[in-house]
């Protein structure tokens, strides 16, 4: 049976790897999800087969309850709620790692080797930090805690002292097997998760989400060693590594470093930007009919979606409008910035939900060179990812951040509710350019107005 279980775990691990590979492209994402689900089913059934005297009622009951809640949430969550849902899921992975570690430590009649103690320590403190950090991220993304950075004097020193104390209690546990020391280590790690995330502003939340994804993977891998479960080790390592790579990609897209993100304060600095100090500026505004006329008479149109599109649930109406323009002979494409929305890939999922053809959706590196030859760019619900200050204003907090160069197009149309600043708290010079026309209103209503205008 041991050989059979090893083979089945290997099959599950291979399926998890194929799942990650499939999720790297919208075209193969569904197939990747299928691989992941089949791999998890094999892993769970194999674990049932090799367990010693399992309490089936409790385990099956938990699986059914969790599956029911997950199914309900997946069917009811709005697209705007997807980022905080992901953060909440990360918190559960972290919490499970902590609970498993605590159960292993308190398991009577089992003496852990030095290596196992280190594994328990690492899995538990990473899991604890992941849990509370993800809860804070959930609160920031959902607006329950506020998106602004929370900073105070001595914050970094406090984090350092907490980290030292956490490691200190871990060392005490290692040499004495003290349950109290292990619990103190977990408690301090829970506090550290909060203090690490509160100074991070809303503008850095996409990086935080991917970073917590990585943390949850490493926590699972650490506990996999404790449980001697190879598939958990492999799956956790894959998630941890992919999350780390994604965090790097996000930081590169924002011209940030992981260290600067963890030190936080970006959202707070941005909020203190120059928008208020510069005084009122002039801008041009128009109607949905004006915008429809410009785009229906263009040869090339690029649409830049942002979080505002998700808030108004306008993606289906927008694709209907794009289809009408395409029928009129207009070349319509979508430009996606790596950090558009509130989490990595948010806009890709949004457009996939509206069944936008994959060949119309292009990443920043693929489409940036085309903006200068584009007749009209429609920026809908986006702000910071098209802010020219990232390239032109050396004093701007986002200077050096790669952006979608919408300002290079012949005409730019921006759909916004008002002239308020974006998530980073910065004013956008794009809105005040002579070739920019602002169309104010709810994104869905504006797009529905565009559809009516081009149909008549």
Write the DSSP string, 359-405. GGEEEHHHHGGGGGG-SEEEEES--GGG-THHHH-TTSTTTT-----
384 is catalytic: yes
Can you name the residues that pair with 401 across neighbouring β-strands?
none
Alpha-carbon gap, residue 114 to 94, rounded angstroms: 23
Alpha-carbon gap, residue 410 to 408, rounded angstroms: 7
In this prediction, residue 33 carries a pLDDT of: 92
Alpha-carbon gap, residue 136 to 197, rounded angstroms: 7
| pLDDT surpassing 70 at residue 62 | yes
384, 393, 434, 442: which is the annotated catalytic residue?
384
| pLDDT surpassing 50 at residue 174 | yes
Backbone angles phi, psi at 333, to 5 degrees: -140, 160
| pLDDT surpassing 50 at residue 119 | yes
Tokens 């996606």 belong to 336
In this prediction, residue 212 carries a pLDDT of: 86
The pLDDT tens digits for 362-413 are: 999 899 999 999 999 999 988 888 999 888 888 887 788 889 999 999 999 9
In this prediction, residue 271 carries a pLDDT of: 43
Pairing verdict, β 376-380 and 411-416: parallel
Instruction: Report which secondary-structure segment, H or E, holds 117.
Output: helix 114-142
Can you name the residues that pair with 438 across neighbouring β-strands?
285, 414
Alpha-carbon gap, residue 34 to 255, rounded angstroms: 35
The pLDDT tens digits for 139-164 are: 887 777 766 778 788 888 999 999 99
Q: What contacts 278, CB < 8 A, 6 or more positions away?
A: 427
Backbone angles phi, psi at 339, to 5 degrees: -115, 20
Instruction: Pick the closest to residue 280 from 391, 393, 419, 413 (CA basis).
Output: 419
Mean pLDDT of 69-84: 83
Percent of the chain scoring above 70 in pLDDT: 93
In this prediction, residue 304 carries a pLDDT of: 96
Q: Which residue has the higher pLDDT, 224 or 424?
A: 224
Q: How many CB atoms lie within 10 A of CB 52?
A: 4
pLDDT, the chain, mean: 86
Backbone angles phi, psi at 167, to 5 degrees: -65, -40
Percent of the chain scoring above 90 in pLDDT: 46
Backbone angles phi, psi at 61, to 5 degrees: -60, -45
Instruction: Pick the closest to residue 348 from 88, 19, 17, 27 (CA basis).
Output: 27
pTM of the model as a whole:
0.77
DSSP 336: E
Mean pLDDT of 64-85: 85
Instruction: Pick the closest to residue 186 from 169, 174, 172, 198 (CA basis).
Output: 169
**18 and 34 Cβ atoms separated by less than 8 Å:** no
In this prediction, residue 37 carries a pLDDT of: 93
Mean pLDDT of 220-242: 87
| pLDDT surpassing 90 at residue 2 | no
Tokens (6 digits) for 157: 């020193």
Tokens (6 digits) for 225: 């060693």
Instruction: Report which secondary-structure segment, H or E, holds 413.
Output: strand 411-416
Show contacts of 73-79: CB within 8 Å, 24+ apart.
Answer: 78/313, 79/310, 79/313, 79/315, 79/349, 79/350, 79/353
């Amino acid at each position: 049976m041991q050989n059979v279980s090893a083979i089945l775990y290997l099959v599950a691990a291979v399926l998890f790897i194929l799942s990650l590979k499939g999720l790297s492209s919208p075209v193969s994402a569904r197939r990747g999800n299928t691989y992941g689900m089949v791999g998890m089913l094999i892993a769970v059934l194999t674990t049932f087969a090799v367990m010693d005297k399992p309490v089936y009622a409790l385990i099956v009951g938990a699986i059914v309850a969790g599956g029911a809640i997950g199914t309900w949430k997946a069917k009811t969550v709005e697209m705007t709620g997807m980022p905080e849902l992901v953060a909440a899921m990360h918190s559960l992975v972290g919490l499970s790692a902590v609970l498993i570690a605590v159960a292993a430590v308190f398991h009577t009649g089992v003496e852990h080797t030095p290596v196992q103690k280190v594994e328990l320590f690492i899995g538990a403190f990473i899991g604890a930090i992941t849990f509370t950090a993800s809860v804070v991220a959930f609160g920031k993304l959902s607006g329950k805690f506020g998106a602004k950075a929370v900073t105070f004097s001595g914050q970094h020193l406090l984090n350092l002292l907490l980290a030292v104390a956490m490691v200190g209690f871990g060392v005490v546990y290692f040499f004495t097997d003290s349950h109290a020391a292990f619990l103190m280590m977990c408690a301090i790690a829970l506090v550290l998760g909060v203090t690490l995330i509160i100074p991070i502003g809303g503008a850095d939340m996409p990086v935080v989400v991917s970073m917590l994804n990585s943390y949850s993977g490493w926590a699972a891998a650490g506990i996999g060693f404790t449980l001697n479960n190879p598939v958990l080790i492999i799956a956790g390592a894959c998630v941890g590594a992919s999350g780390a790579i994604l965090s790097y990609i996000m930081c590169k897209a924002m011209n940030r470093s992981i260290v600067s993100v963890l030190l936080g304060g970006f959202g707070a600095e941005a909020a203190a930007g120059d928008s208020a100090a510069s005084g009122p500026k002039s801008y041009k505004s128009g109607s949905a009919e004006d915008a429809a006329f410009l785009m229906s008479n263009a040869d090339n149109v690029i649409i830049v979606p942002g979080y505002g599109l998700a808030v108004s649930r306008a993606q289906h109406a927008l694709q209907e409008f794009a289809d009408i323009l395409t029928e009129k002979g207009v070349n319509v494409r979508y430009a996606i910035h790596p950090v558009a929305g509130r989490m990595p890939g948010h806009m890709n999922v949004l457009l996939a939900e509206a069944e936008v053809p994959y060949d119309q959706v292009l990443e920043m590196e693929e489409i940036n060179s085309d903006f200068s030859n584009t007749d009209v760019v429609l920026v809908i619900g986006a702000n910071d990812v098209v802010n020219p200050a990232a390239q032109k204003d050396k004093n701007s907090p986002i200077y050096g951040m790669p952006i979608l160069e919408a300002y290079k197009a012949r005409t730019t149309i921006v759909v916004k509710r008002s002239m308020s600043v974006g998530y980073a708290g910065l004013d956008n010079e794009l809105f005040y350019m002579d070739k920019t026309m602002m169309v104010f209103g709810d994104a869905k209503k504006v797009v529905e107005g565009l559809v009516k205008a081009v149909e008549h």
